[in-house]
Chain A
Amino acid sequence: MKKLLNTLYVTRQESYLHKERETIVIKNGPDKLAQFPALAIGNIFCFGQISVSPFLMGYCAEQGIGLAFYTEYGRFLARVQGKPTGNVLLRRTQYRWADDPDKATDVARLMVAAKIANCRSVLLRDLRNHGENSSLKQAAKKLAVSLRQVQSAHSVETTRGIEGEAANSYFSVFNERLRGSHFRFDGRIRRPPTDPVNALLSFAYSLVTQECVSALLGVGLDPYVGFLHSDRPGRLSLALDLVEEFRASWADRFVLTLINRRQVCPEDFETEAGGAVRLTEKARKELLVAYQERKQTEIMHPYLHEKVPIGLLPHCQAMLLARHVRGDTRYYPPYLVK
């Protein structure tokens, strides 16, 4: 299995990255902030005013190192992409499937099934760990019903409908899972999030989404053409499809842990004039460190039967999806938390 390489998150404003022999160097003015062996780096994410030498950009593209730029607040701006990897035949099949209702449903259904099953698994786990809670139990039951429905879904639209309902059941009890804390969750609000919990969720989803994009590009799939999410200019539909499998067990659980272990507090958030809530710079940095640590945790992959760090799950699933599109497996084996 591929190795999980480090991700560099560069948040110090006005930094400059370049390549020096076989190392990547971060400078700020005349000061050298850090230096890493290039072979140990899998991704470089730059937040805000960061510049990167064209030579390093070219090196990243060639070596398959993900290099992406974000605003200081984590909104995605751009990525460096070299020659497309993999085979055009694979992408052609992907496009054909996306246009073929039966094929698209086949894949979309399984992704949603995994998402629902995973939501249910984390609720059941909470029940085991924290004892009786009738609303959690109720929600887990509803999710079981959704799961049965999605098994016989015959179109992508139906699948999306079931997915929406399941998401409602799941988020309806999200507040119950915030243990005695100073945060409240009253439903999922995106674009822009207007409370801390939603701000954290959005941040976590965008991190995982970018990893899915890199993973899909790495196996030669087009992250913009999805099965569950339909085409929309600029929308990373296939990456969003893939993220569904990881939301509950990876992103949501990460956010819940931060809150329940009081690793974040209300002071870590600021409200903009327009009502949007965002993380302070200090909190964002701490969060990235915690996120990076979480990625090292190893789990047993349910299909590959191999121990893999969580951070490699997007790669594993992108690879399984590519192999399915290529005809190695009858069905796409989505990621299931065990």
Chain B
Amino acid sequence: MDDYLAISALQHYAYCPRQFALIHIEQAWSENRLTAEGRLLHERVDAGYAEQRRGVRYERGVLLVSHQLGLTGKADLIEVHSPNEGKQESPRYFPVEYKRGRPKIEDWDRIQLCAQALCIEEMRNTQVTEGAIWYWQVRRRKPVIIDAALRQTTLDVIEAARRMLLSGETPPPIDERRRCKACSLAELCNPKAFARDRSVSYVNAIFQESDDPSEDSQE
């Protein structure tokens, strides 16, 4: 199980490959405000036990694994919808992921949800066609269709993340202002300082200064 990828790592990779490397290769995790908030949120979500309401069972903090994909993780919430009485159907699984922020256009939250769906499919021998992301800041639930395109994107990210993990190498910063600003690892990553390698000219300048002829002419 040691080299199984964490499902949560996929969103890191999708957000920024360097962020993924900083967390999962370099293990340089900074417990700053954003992550502390995220953790608190999860503590609240994790705290509950399964409850049953009108044909739906709500299970929280469900452990997930896919041996085929080498993935492990946890789902914040899985709704298990029982089939209507008398019908010969298997229950329908519906994963829900809780996010601190507001809905984003980008894919990274959906990828995480899709990875959960893939795990559920393998573990329960079923099909997961839909899930949802709950955005804390706007208190709204966004449905996510687990379609072929999202599945492919997710598989690609799993593959790319695994390759990076094996290489042990950290890529340079993406230096995309908006994304870096919202990144909880910006302080560790320092995108401004490392987006371009300025060390060559910096180091040359150390030696050039001593060649300053003005000093000798003072004699």
A57 smallest CB distance to B (angstroms): 19
A336 touching B210 in the complex, CB below 8 Å, given contacts A89-B25, A323-B194: no
Please indicate the chain A residues that have their CB under 8 angstroms from the CB of B193 in the complex: 303-306
A117 touching B26 in the complex, CB below 8 Å, given contacts A328-B172, A329-B194, A333-B199: no
**Is B126 interfacial (CB-CB < 8 Å)?**
no
> Complex formed: what's the CA distance from A1 to B215 in Å?
36
> How many residues of chain A get a CB closer than 8 Å to chain B's CBs?
40
Fill in one digit per residue for A319-338: 1 if any B CB lies within 8 Å of its CB, else 0: 10001101111111110100
**Is B198 interfacial (CB-CB < 8 Å)?**
yes
Fill in one digit per residue for A133-151: 1 if any B CB lies within 8 Å of its CB, else 0: 0000100110110011001
**Is A120 interfacial (CB-CB < 8 Å)?**
yes
Q: From A106, which residue of chain B is reached at the shortest CB distance?
A: B203
> Complex formed: what's the CA distance from A303 to B190 in Å?
12
Say which residue of A114, A144, A219, A326 sits within 8 Å of B210 (CB atoms). Answer: A144
Please indicate the chain A residues that have their CB under 8 angstroms from the CB of B28 in the complex: 85-87, 219-220
User: Is the CB–CB distance between B187 and A2 below 8 Å?
Assistant: yes
Contact-residue bracket for chain B: 20 to 34
> Complex formed: what's the CA distance from A7 to B103 in Å?
41
| CB interface residues, A 72-124, toward B, < 8 Å | 85-87, 89-90, 110, 113-114, 117, 120
Please indicate the chain B residues that have their CB under 8 angstroms from the CB of A330 in the complex: 197, 199-200
Fill in one digit per residue for B151-169: 1 if any A CB lies within 8 Å of its CB, else 0: 0000000000000000011
> Complex formed: what's the CA distance from A327 to B193 in Å?
14
User: Is the CB–CB distance between A117 and B209 below 8 Å?
Assistant: yes
| CB interface residues, B 185-199, toward A, < 8 Å | 187, 190, 192-194, 197-199
**Is B202 interfacial (CB-CB < 8 Å)?**
yes
> Complex formed: what's the CA distance from A332 to B206 in Å?
12
User: Is the CB–CB distance between A113 and B200 below 8 Å?
Assistant: no
> Complex formed: what's the CA distance from A196 to B172 in Å?
49
Please indicate the chain B residues that have their CB under 8 angstroms from the CB of A114 in the complex: 206
| CB interface residues, B 175-219, toward A, < 8 Å | 187, 190, 192-194, 197-200, 202-203, 206-207, 209-211, 215-216, 218
Please indicate the chain B residues that have their CB under 8 angstroms from the CB of A143 in the complex: 210
User: Is the CB–CB distance between B206 and A110 below 8 Å?
Assistant: yes
User: Is the CB–CB distance between B206 and A327 below 8 Å?
Assistant: no
B168 smallest CB distance to A (angstroms): 5
Please indicate the chain B residues that have their CB under 8 angstroms from the CB of A219 in the complex: 28
Say which residue of B187, B198, B210 sits within 8 Å of A120 (CB atoms). Answer: B210
Q: Which of B27, B206, B218 counts the most A-chain CB atoms under 10 A from its CB? A: B206
Please indicate the chain B residues that have their CB under 8 angstroms from the CB of A326 in the complex: 26, 170
> Complex formed: what's the CA distance from A85 to B215 in Å?
46
A148 touching B200 in the complex, CB below 8 Å, given contacts A87-B26, A110-B206, A117-B206: no
Say which residue of B26, B200, B206, B215 sits within 8 Å of A336 (CB atoms). Answer: B206
Please indicate the chain A residues that have their CB under 8 angstroms from the CB of B200 in the complex: 330-331
User: Is the CB–CB distance between B197 and A148 below 8 Å?
Assistant: no
User: Is the CB–CB distance between B215 and A324 below 8 Å?
Assistant: no
User: Is the CB–CB distance between B211 and A329 below 8 Å?
Assistant: no
Q: From B30, which residue of chain A is reached at the shortest CB distance?
A: A2
User: Is the CB–CB distance between A113 and B207 below 8 Å?
Assistant: yes
A151 touching B168 in the complex, CB below 8 Å, given contacts A141-B215, A303-B198: no
B79 smallest CB distance to A (angstroms): 36
A331 touching B202 in the complex, CB below 8 Å, given contacts A144-B215, A151-B207, A326-B170: yes
User: Is the CB–CB distance between A90 and B199 below 8 Å?
Assistant: no
User: Is the CB–CB distance between A148 and B207 below 8 Å?
Assistant: yes
User: Is the CB–CB distance between A328 and B26 below 8 Å?
Assistant: no
User: Is the CB–CB distance between B211 and A148 below 8 Å?
Assistant: yes
Please indicate the chain A residues that have their CB under 8 angstroms from the CB of B187 in the complex: 1-2
Please indicate the chain B residues that have their CB under 8 angstroms from the CB of A137 in the complex: 218
User: Is the CB–CB distance between A117 and B197 below 8 Å?
Assistant: no
A/B interface sample: 13 pairs, CB < 8 A: A86-B27, A110-B206, A141-B216, A143-B210, A147-B206, A303-B198, A326-B170, A327-B170, A328-B197, A329-B197, A329-B199, A334-B206, A336-B206
